[in-house]
Structure 1
């Protein structure tokens, strides 16, 4: 997805994709409080120092990358990515996902427990997932566990094995082996997980308390939208907020689409609830009014809503009422999109966008006054905290992993099938003109992506290590 630019490098580099970098220079390095010239010193995969940029003679054998005016910032962390391995060979596995992520400036993803077989709701299933991922990942990958009815005895073993938390659903998932939970299941799980420093992630929709009238023409997007009204999110988030306040277990609202739920979250914050919330690139860049009849590749749950709702989400981001922006990347083969009958109710839900998260956000955020620092907060630092990786990822500070993205925020490109590295290339963004091209992605100091090329050797880490159970709860960042 990269396009060559005259600003690519101030000094031509002999480094190739796969190389380790010892020094990285730029005139625009995004640090905690400044954007300016700096030199990042890297050793052993860690940032050793960040120095004022200085011109000096190179030493023989010195592995220097000078990128001139390109922006350098922490690698993006995407904590909401569906990887369909093991168990679904026609869908997207670790190799394709992590290559696409690297091309998009993403250095860490956290895999969701839903779309694999078996779902990651037990320690044995986690071990199957790890075995499947071994040797396939081009960037670092962490893993969420899942909560299902009756699996509370599996939660602490998975937590001890290294998952940072657990996802659950309040309504049917459509996935065998991962049913939704009821209130009794949530009370059991939250009682088990109190004082463990883990987080519960909620797909925040539940069946509405009142019956709905759904139009009959299932090729119209409005029919699908009518089947998933705002009340489904509002009622679910009311339930989550009450449980969060009762147990004080950190809770995270996934893929918020309805701005109507924001006052509930704000009220829970004011009462002291450790609750956070994400929204997605598609809710910020797509609107219901623009979805064509039969365009089932726009289907996702919760649904894409109207333009007025979208502007309220952007306002909430500006006021820091939404903590982060993620892809919720859900790969889906064309045959499951029901493209022939164009039936929104039958088509599988999910949008593929992982590779384009950075330019998608920047394209729509820059005109609204968002800065590079806002981008780092929403797509690097806060996702690192959510994923319990803030001690090693999310900022350009000495001692942190040397995970970096180098990109040109002024360059534009068009999304087409030739640049997409996702296995399943059907996406609503085909033909979109976006702003922001990735030049290089470094994971622990190694160039995994450089000017359109991916390193052939997968050397990403699986971020899961056995740990002692902590009783210290992380400081909330809202």
Structure 2
């Protein structure tokens, strides 16, 4: 490679015998300039001429693989307002350690919820200088925000989340069927994206809810019919309004046929599932262990097998964490009564590793896992410079050691409260280095206190190129933000 006089040389050259480029593992040299992939060469091509200082260089070990950074589009950071549950610093450090280079933050369980322009500015300010990975934001569709959603879209949120059943927090009420239709029409009008937590409140209300430590009883209280009924409503709404919709955290495989039919019909519906549904099953969960409680719930092994089949067939698009932590006190409420404990799994740091290990056991390669955890979530969210190693994309890269074992020590996880559904499990495969726009943000082979450098992540804005920082609010704007204006 040659360059003209006065043209800046590369910042970084990354060489790997196995790099995932265009869906195939092959030898590659990735040349990075200004945090962006400038060129991808075959590994035996001539090296760059520096014309000055030589670029930094990363040589990926021969037994490792270079992957694109994962994109987790379903993360509850909880800051501001519930930062004892989680926060931007701790959540994004966990992401970097888990090979996730971009997250999109959910509009709850922060206080205020991200349902107004003022709340978005407040959250944006709270995230400043605290991000180890790049971070975008979803907005919220609640009854009070209907008719005003385009203002938040213009401020750069990536879409709007709603619940059809109780969200678990009072500041984020659910939409009824008519409100869902109104939100869909409004969002379709400006070309936005609607995200839906699909459980039918009437089905949930009719199900038994006895105080119980038994996971079988908890699953019975959130039956498959709650999902299938709500998903049928969502599909009808998409058909009637034309809104682009994304189905969150699919748990029940019984909805797969109707989802496949809707997609065959050409409806603009995408679907995600989560690592806990793909790796854990209700028959092997210890009763009373609330770290495994989530809504919708973990179901049986036959259900799990069907979810894997749907991923391979392309009926499910992506796998994201639905990282939803709380304080230990809130998670253990009720002393093991699963009806009282907080329903959320803290899995951001371990999700990709857990799915890769389970995929390997099923004979599925890391190429597919990366497509589900990086490329597809980026596509769904509209993060066009993320999710793949390609010229023009951000140089978000992960060194993956496929044979390196990882035993999850909950005390060494970066998220704020030391509880996890993955505690004590050993996986084959591990993230050893994470680079964000060409800058190392995690290196497992450094001493513990040097593995993660100071924050380098940016707040992402849908309106501009991914990676462009939000402007800092002025004094008057900050005052309005704190009032929730």
TM-score between both structures, scaled by the size of structure 1: 0.90
Of 444-453 and 240-249, deviating more is 444-453
Q: CA deviation at 1:462?
A: 0.3
Is the partner of 1:354 in helix, strand or coil?
Answer: coil
What is the aligned-residue RMSD (CA, Å)? 1.9
Is the partner of 1:90 in helix, strand or coil?
Answer: coil
Q: What is the 5 A alignment of 1:36-435? A: 36-54=26-44, 61-69=54-62, 70-209=64-203, 212=206, 214=208, 216=210, 218-338=212-332, 341-390=335-384, 392-435=385-428
TM-score between both structures, scaled by the size of structure 2: 0.89
For 1:350 and 1:459, the matched residues in 2 are separated by 28
Q: CA deviation at 1:380?
A: 1.0
Q: CA deviation at 1:110?
A: 0.4
RCO comparison, higher one (Cα < 8 Å, 6+): 1
Residues 160 and 467 in structure 1, CA contact (< 8 A), matched pair in contact too: no
For 1:429 and 1:193, the matched residues in 2 are separated by 37
Q: CA deviation at 1:208?
A: 3.7
Q: Deviating runs (4+, > 4 A) in structure 1?
A: 55-60, 209-213, 465-468
Is the partner of 1:150 in helix, strand or coil?
Answer: helix
For 1:230 and 1:289, the matched residues in 2 are separated by 16
Residues 28 and 72 in structure 1, CA contact (< 8 A), matched pair in contact too: yes
Question: Partner residue of 1:449?
Answer: 442
Is the partner of 1:113 in helix, strand or coil?
Answer: coil
Q: CA deviation at 1:430?
A: 0.9
1:26 has 2:25 as partner: no
Of 215-224 and 252-261, deviating more is 215-224
Q: CA deviation at 1:211?
A: 6.5
For 1:151 and 1:34, the matched residues in 2 are separated by 44
5+ residue gaps, structure 2, are 1-9, 466-485
Question: Residue 460 of structure 2 is aligned with which of 455, 458, 463?
Answer: 463
Q: CA deviation at 1:150?
A: 3.0
Residues 439 and 450 in structure 1, CA contact (< 8 A), matched pair in contact too: yes
Cα 1:340–1:248 change in 2 (3 A) is closer
Question: Partner residue of 1:16?
Answer: none
For 1:57 and 1:213, the matched residues in 2 are separated by 65
Q: CA deviation at 1:310?
A: 0.7
For 1:209 and 1:417, the matched residues in 2 are separated by 36
For 2:404 and 2:191, the matched residues in 1 are separated by 41
1:2-24 deviation per Cα after TM superposition (whole angstroms, max 9, x unaligned): xxxxxxxxxxxxxxxxxx95100
Q: CA deviation at 1:217?
A: 5.1
Cα 1:215–1:206 change in 2 (3 A) is closer
Is the partner of 2:147 in helix, strand or coil?
Answer: helix
Is the partner of 2:412 in helix, strand or coil?
Answer: coil
1:394-444 deviation per Cα after TM superposition (whole angstroms, max 9, x unaligned): 111111110111110111121112431111121121110111111111111
1:242-284 deviation per Cα after TM superposition (whole angstroms, max 9, x unaligned): 0011111111110000000111111111222100110000001
Q: CA deviation at 1:55?
A: 7.8
Residues 104 and 135 in structure 2, CA contact (< 8 A), matched pair in contact too: yes
Q: CA deviation at 1:466?
A: 4.4
For 1:214 and 1:458, the matched residues in 2 are separated by 47
For 1:116 and 1:102, the matched residues in 2 are separated by 22
Residues 123 and 154 in structure 1, CA contact (< 8 A), matched pair in contact too: no
Question: Partner residue of 2:471?
Answer: none
For 1:241 and 1:43, the matched residues in 2 are separated by 44
Is the partner of 2:389 in helix, strand or coil?
Answer: coil
Is the partner of 2:386 in helix, strand or coil?
Answer: coil
Question: Partner residue of 2:469?
Answer: none
Corresponding pairs, count: 448
For 2:320 and 2:113, the matched residues in 1 are separated by 21
